[in-house]
Amino acid sequence: MTNAKPEYFTSRPPNLNALQASFKPKNKVPRYSTLEQLHDDTEGADYDIADHLPGPLQNGESSNRPLKNRNLMEQAIAFADGKMHYFWEDMCTRYGDAGLSSNVCIPWIQLDECENAWITHLVLLNDPDDAVRIARCHVKKQPNFKHHLLTSIIATTDPDHWMEQYRRETYLMLLAYQHCHHTCVACGQ
């Protein structure tokens, strides 16, 4: 199966992405049949991060599609209820060995800028030391923000574009600071 938009999305209302179009009108939870039809980008991969991090897919369960779909349905319900942070907390405490500081791997529905949807893995990076180390050496962002925030400094997946934005924003902040610095010093005295 490819990442192309499946045929069942062709009659969707305008301005909705593929995943939103599959939601039931009242509770905003995707149909189980929709999850069954999504391409699983992790199947047949040379390296499976889910085998190396705690989570619902550890110990060879990464190829267990019904387990993935159940977990994705739990996520969708939490998201529809505005409780995704509770879902992530539950994943860390249920599967991690360091409580809320546990790094956990969960299944994830990824959307691209063309509104194609597929299943992949999401690593919840919560260990403070790991977060600092990764942030220093890996500036490329995960594409899950790109769908909503486009190419903003928070969501760009191009490290060169991020650096250009960072330098421009830093320059603008310095200009603003230089402009008001003397006033701030005078008020402080």
For residue 16, the one-letter residue type is L
Where is 187: in which H helix or E strand?
helix 159-188
- Say which residue, 51 or 170, is predicted with more confidence: 51
Cα dihedral 101/118/30/77 (nearest 10): 0
Model confidence over 19-36: pLDDT tens digits? 555 554 444 677 778 888
Looking at residue 24, what is its pLDDT? Answer: 42
Distance CA 118, CA 111 (A): 7
Model confidence over 68-107: pLDDT tens digits? 999 999 998 888 888 889 999 999 999 999 999 999 999 9
Work out the percent of the chain whose per-residue pLDDT is above 70.
Answer: 75
Distance CA 148, CA 20 (A): 13
Looking at residue 176, what is its pLDDT? Answer: 77
Looking at residue 13, what is its pLDDT? Answer: 41
Looking at residue 82, what is its pLDDT? Answer: 83
- Say which residue, 174 or 104, is predicted with more confidence: 104
Distance CA 177, CA 182 (A): 9
Looking at residue 178, what is its pLDDT? Answer: 77
Q: Which of 9-23, 24-38, 133-147, 164-178 has the lowest mean pLDDT?
A: 9-23
- Say which residue, 141 or 43, is predicted with more confidence: 43
